[in-house]
């Protein structure tokens, strides 16, 4: 879900504060990228090109982190419940 809308996957996993923070960070990086793009279009020099490409890399890194974080949280979300079930089964077998 976070691959589509950054922060959405964190909300889905029940991590609302993390979703707000990562969603805000994604919004800030997208805004920064658009600002650098408009500077590139206005000036067109080598410095503005490298700043724009740097902004794209930052944006992709933030997007990748939010997507990976939501995936890992979703994967580990059921781990505690599964662990408790396995431990309960082990205790039952011992009796």
26's CB contacts (< 8 A; 6+ apart) are 6, 7, 62, 63, 66
36's CB contacts (< 8 A; 6+ apart) are 48, 51, 52, 54, 55
68-94: pLDDT as tens digits? 888 887 777 665 555 566 667 667 766
Angstrom distance (rounded) from CA 31 to CA 4: 17
Comparing 7 with 48, the larger pLDDT belongs to: 48
Give the single-character DSSP code of 68: H
Q: Count of residues for the chain?
A: 95
pTM over 0.95: no
37-71: pLDDT as tens digits? 999 999 888 888 999 999 999 999 999 988 888 88
Predicted pLDDT at 15: 82
């Amino acid at each position: 879900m976070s691959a589509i809308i950054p922060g959405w996957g964190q909300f889905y996993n029940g991590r609302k504060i993390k979703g707000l923070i990562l969603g805000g960070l994604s919004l800030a990086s997208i805004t920064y990228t658009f600002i650098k793009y408009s500077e590139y279009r206005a000036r067109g020099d080598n410095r503005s090109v490298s700043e724009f490409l740097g902004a794209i890399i930052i944006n992709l890194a933030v997007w990748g982190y939010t997507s990976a974080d939501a995936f890992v949280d979703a994967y580990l979300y059921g781990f505690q419940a599964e662990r408790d079930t396995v431990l309960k089964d082990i205790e039952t077998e011992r009796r």
